[in-house]
Structure 1
């Protein structure tokens, strides 16, 4: 239940419903008809996604994104790509939707066994009519038994939450520059060998199983990255 509440709070923050700080725990308990423990778990999820700053004795304040860009990629929000973009939502054009078996390359990329059956989804995604990225995404069928043609047109993570109660627990992100090969360059419409920013991501369930891994090639102009970390005093 707290995952759904966290999603609702995140949507409210992204929609500027909460502009300065979250309501008190008591108010949120009444709004969601939930216990204090459930609300605190939900707030913890929102905090880990880089949207809150905790001030002891004062509450949970909204972290403002930099005002000089409307295209901020929040790497802390790894479980829902729709929430990554200011000014969204993204509109998808599905290039490929099929099933494949993991070869050595995909097994290494996704930290899975060779031969694992996967759903493969390759999409071009647009923000306000401009190409935003090329996404190559894979879902092991041992964890995700079914994806529909309609589900891959929209937020796949939202579909997984609603259909299977699948929520990501941890995400590994790796950002690097790559040169585009023939196939990717043709899809994006740029010369072969052009450099672009690439995000490699692996998404895990709480039990450690991989439910998604992907490579996303970003082409949107003036894109900025944001990442949230929590400082821990290891000497305590």
Structure 2
């Protein structure tokens, strides 16, 4: 339950519903009809997504993104960036929706076994009619038995939450520059061989199973990266 509450709080933050800080725990308990422990777990999730700054005795303050926030990719948000881009949501144009078996390259990319059956979704995503990225996503059928044609047009992760109660536990992200091959260059309308920012991501369940891995090529102008970390005191 706290995962769903966290998602609603994140959406409210991205929609500028709150000015400078979150409502009190008591107010959130009333809004979501939830216990204090559930609200605290939800707030912890939002904090780990890099959207809150805790001030002891004063509450949870909203971390404001730069004014040109549509160009900032928040890597801390993780599982469902399509719903978290300010100025969004992103609108998808599905290029490919089918099933494939993992070859050696996909198995290595997704930390899965060769031959694992996968749902494959390739789509272009737009922000206010401007091309934002090319996303190539894979979902192992052993964990995600079914994807609907409607779900891949919108937020796949929202579908996974509703259909399978999948929220994810950890994400591995690797950001690097790549040169566009002929096929991808044609899809995004850029010259073959041009460099673009690429994000390789793997999403895991709490039991360590991969439920999604993807490669996203960003073509939105002047995109910048943001990442939130929590400092931990280590005693020697």
Q: How does the TM-score come out when normalised to structure 2?
A: 0.98
CA deviation map 1:64-116 (0-9, x unaligned): 00124432111111111223311001110100000000010000000001111
Q: Is the 8 A contact 2:11 2:84 kept in 1?
A: no
Matches within 5 A, 1:140-219: 140-219=140-219
Q: 1:37 to 1:69 in 2, by over 3 A?
A: closer
Cα deviation for residue 223 of structure 1 reads: 1.1
Measured in 2, the distance between the counterparts of 1:31 and 1:52 equals 19
Residue 45 of structure 1 pairs with residue 45 of structure 2: yes
Measured in 2, the distance between the counterparts of 1:222 and 1:13 equals 23
Tell me which residue corresponds to 1:87.
Answer: 87
Measured in 2, the distance between the counterparts of 1:188 and 1:212 equals 23
- Number of positions where the alignment pairs a residue of Structure 1 with one of Structure 2: 236
Cα deviation for residue 219 of structure 1 reads: 0.3
Tell me which residue corresponds to 2:226.
Answer: 226
Tell me which residue corresponds to 2:118.
Answer: 118
Q: Is the 8 A contact 2:6 2:45 kept in 1?
A: yes
Measured in 2, the distance between the counterparts of 1:5 and 1:84 equals 15
Two-structure CA RMSD over aligned residues (Å): 1.0
Cα deviation for residue 173 of structure 1 reads: 0.5
Q: Is the 8 A contact 1:81 1:155 kept in 2?
A: no
Residue 105 of structure 1 pairs with residue 86 of structure 2: no
Measured in 2, the distance between the counterparts of 1:65 and 1:77 equals 13
Cα deviation for residue 141 of structure 1 reads: 0.3
CA deviation map 1:107-163 (0-9, x unaligned): 000000111100000001111001110000000000000001111000100111111
Cα deviation for residue 56 of structure 1 reads: 0.8
Q: Is the 8 A contact 1:71 1:87 kept in 2?
A: no
Q: How does the TM-score come out when normalised to structure 1?
A: 0.98
| Unmatched segments (≥5 aa) in structure 1 | none
**3-state SS, counterpart of residue 143 of structure 2:** coil
Q: Is the 8 A contact 2:119 2:139 kept in 1?
A: yes
| Unmatched segments (≥5 aa) in structure 2 | none
Measured in 2, the distance between the counterparts of 1:125 and 1:60 equals 32
Q: Is the 8 A contact 1:73 1:84 kept in 2?
A: no
Measured in 2, the distance between the counterparts of 1:69 and 1:101 equals 38
Measured in 2, the distance between the counterparts of 1:68 and 1:192 equals 29
CA deviation map 1:15-70 (0-9, x unaligned): 11112111111111111111111000000000000000001111100000012443
